[in-house]
Amino acid sequence: MLFEGLDLVSALATLAACLVSVTLLLAVSQQLWQLRWAATRDKSCKLPIPKGSMGFPLIGETGHWLLQVFSKIFSHEALESYLPKIQLVIQDTLRAWSSHPEAINVYQEAQKLTFRMAIRVLLGFSIPEEDLGHLFEVYQQFVDNVFSLPVDLPFSGYRRGIQARQILQKGLEKAIREKLQC
């Protein structure tokens, strides 16, 4: 036997200690969460508290709300409505790829295709191709620097990430304004 030196009693005692520790940890963390919630809420606000408890984020009411939102976005009907737009984007991309006689970098082109689909299909923006290419480069700059050391120095990755985020935000705000005017 693998555990010859251990008897059943010590194994059960260890299991019981682990279960008690986990239960105690959950109880203490719930109490600390409630204390933090009570200490940080705005007491001058007279708005009613929403239904439900003040439980952990992404558990309980928040999880149900997110499930409802994502189930609408990714329902069969919604996915079926995305298909013609996705096919159009893929056909345009394949046409552009086939017009270039030189080899293509599949990884980078797949990233561009995914970005183009997210902008055109999921967000519903029709951005010109040259602006879309610029936004993709800025997005890549943001992704490359999103997990850099958070030291705000000139020419640091963190600063480049912040600048890329600001450019992306301005570009998306411009696209939203144009879409609202149509």
Please compute the mean of the pLDDT values over residues 69-85 and round it to a whole number: 88
Confidence band (pLDDT; 50, 70, 90) for 54?
low
Residue where the block lists tokens 């993709």: 136
Q: Is the pLDDT of residue 42 over 80?
A: no
Q: Is the pLDDT of residue 41 over 80?
A: no
**3-state class (DSSP) for residue 127:** coil
Is the residue at 129 inside a domain?
no
Determine the length of the chain: 182
- Spatial distance between the Cα atoms of 109 and 122, rounded to a whole number of angstroms: 19
Please compute the mean of the pLDDT values over residues 4-30 and round it to a whole number: 84
Answer for the pair 152, 159: CB distance below 8 angstroms, yes or no: yes
- Spatial distance between the Cα atoms of 117 and 133, rounded to a whole number of angstroms: 13
- Check residue 182 and give its pLDDT: 73
**Surface-to-core class of residue 111, CB atoms within 10 Å of its CB (0-12 exposed, 13-18 middle, 19+ buried):** middle
Is the residue at 156 inside a domain?
no
Is the residue at 94 inside a domain?
no
- Spatial distance between the Cα atoms of 110 and 94, rounded to a whole number of angstroms: 11
Does this model's pTM top 0.95?
no
Is the residue at 98 inside a domain?
no
- Domain carrying residue 24: 5-37
Is the residue at 11 inside a domain?
yes
Mean pLDDT, rounded, of the chain:
84
- Check residue 174 and give its pLDDT: 86
Is the residue at 162 inside a domain?
no
Is the residue at 103 inside a domain?
no
pLDDT in tens, 85-128: 899 989 999 998 999 888 989 999 999 999 998 888 878 888 88
135-142 long-range contacts, CB within 8 A, separation 24+: 135/168, 135/171, 136/111, 136/112, 138/164, 138/167, 138/168, 138/171, 139/115, 139/164, 139/168, 140/111, 142/168
Say how many domains are in the chain: 1
Q: Is the pLDDT of residue 138 over 90?
A: yes
Rounded to 5°, angle at Cα 41 from 39 and 44: 115
Structure tokens at 147: 């997990």
